[in-house]
């Protein structure tokens, strides 16, 4: 499984991807983020699904890049990636089906091209079609998505700062990591500041985030302890189980 998170903000983008690859009983690490810059304009791709399909799509896209294919808007790059997904599906679908494997590739694409007024974030489906991540729910997770959503839904907004979104992203990943044994360190982190057009890339190990995860776990326990006991008593007294007379 995979954990890839993209957050779209007024001031930029934050992306986090784990590197764990599980094949049967074997576990290895591999980068799940592809980054390219057109001058100062960045584009990144994160994937969840069949590794062979992912590698083929990225190879074909790299070929477009090498042939000096320029995109002045993000949606044009996303359309190109969608076409490549369809191409790979046409090439590999039948062989995969004969082996009992479904064609599977979910893709997050983020960045800002020359004629984009603001950073963009997209989700592409295995069929090659896509949606743009909007301001109302400014994040998307592919792969193991269930455990990491609640903290994001309760905290991050389109107007959040890059630093705030990064912190919530770390907590979202940590929630997934402790609940799923197929998601793990190291993680790759991207931070794009649309005001400076700087794109930072970081590879973080478990020890790098140990202080944050310990702080978060301590505060969760402390918060539970601070819930007044009488609130629980009032809830229980409303239960039919306590009205036996």
The answer to whether residue 220 sits within a structural domain is no
Instruction: Please give the pLDDT value at position 243.
Output: 58
The answer to whether residue 231 sits within a structural domain is no
The answer to whether residue 242 sits within a structural domain is no
Question: Structure pTM?
Answer: 0.92
Measure the CA–CA gap between 69 and 37, rounded to whole angstroms. 12
Confidence of residue 238 (pLDDT cuts 50, 70, 90): confident
The answer to whether residue 179 sits within a structural domain is yes
- Give, in order, the Cα–Cα distances in Å from 182 to each of 24, 101, 143, 192, 217: 11, 19, 10, 27, 21
Confidence of residue 79 (pLDDT cuts 50, 70, 90): very high
Instruction: Please give the pLDDT value at position 235.
Output: 85
Give the count of domains, the chain. Answer: 1
The answer to whether residue 93 sits within a structural domain is yes
The answer to whether residue 224 sits within a structural domain is no
Instruction: Report phi then psi at 170, rounded to 5.
Output: -60, -45
3 state SS for 194-245: CCCCEEEEEEECHHHCHHHHHHHHHHHHHHHHCCCHHHHHHHHHCCHHHCCC
The answer to whether residue 53 sits within a structural domain is yes
**Could you please report the per-residue DSSP string of 110-168?**
EE--TT-SS-EEEEE-TTS-EEE--SSS-EEEEES-TTTHHHHHHH--TT--HHHHHHH
123-180 tens-digit pLDDT: 999 999 999 999 999 999 999 999 999 999 999 999 999 999 999 999 999 999 999 8
Q: What average pLDDT is seen over the chain?
A: 93
- Give, in order, the Cα–Cα distances in Å from 230 to each of 130, 220, 223, 234, 237: 49, 20, 15, 6, 10
Domain that residue 165 falls in? 3-207
The answer to whether residue 203 sits within a structural domain is yes
Measure the CA–CA gap between 170 and 168, rounded to whole angstroms. 5
Instruction: Indicate which CATH number applies to the domain containing 9.
Output: 3.60.20.10
Contact 148, 183 (CB under 8 A): no
Q: What is the DSSP letter of 121?
A: E
């Amino acid at each position: 499984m995979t954990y890839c998170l993209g957050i779209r903000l007024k001031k930029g983008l934050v992306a986090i991807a784990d590197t764990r690859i599980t094949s049967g009983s074997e576990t290895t690490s591999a980068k799940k983020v592809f980054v390219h810059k057109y001058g100062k304009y960045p584009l990144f791709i994160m994937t969840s699904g069949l590794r062979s399909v992912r590698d083929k799509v990225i190879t074909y896209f790299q070929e477009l890049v090498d042939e000096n294919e320029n995109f002045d808007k993000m949606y044009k790059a996303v359309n190109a990636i969608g076409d490549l997904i369809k191409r790979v599906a046409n090439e590999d679908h039948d062989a995969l089906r004969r082996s009992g494997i479904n064609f599977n590739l979910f893709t997050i694409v983020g960045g800002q091209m020359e004629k984009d007024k603001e950073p963009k974030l997209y989700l592409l489906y295995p069929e090659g079609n896509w949606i743009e991540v909007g301001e109302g729910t400014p994040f998307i997770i592919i792969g193991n998505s269930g455990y990491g959503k609640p903290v994001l839904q309760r905290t991050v907004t389109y107007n959040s700062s890059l630093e705030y979104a990064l912190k919530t992203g770390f907590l979202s990943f940590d929630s997934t990591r402790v609940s799923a044994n197929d998601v793990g360190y190291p993680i790759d982190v991207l931070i794009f500041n649309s005001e400076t057009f700087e794109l930072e890339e970081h590879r973080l190990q478990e020890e790098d985030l140990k202080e944050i995860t310990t702080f978060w776990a301590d505060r969760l326990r402390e918060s539970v302890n601070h819930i007044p006991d009488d609130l629980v008593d009032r809830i229980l007294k409303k239960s039919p189980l306590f009205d036996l007379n």
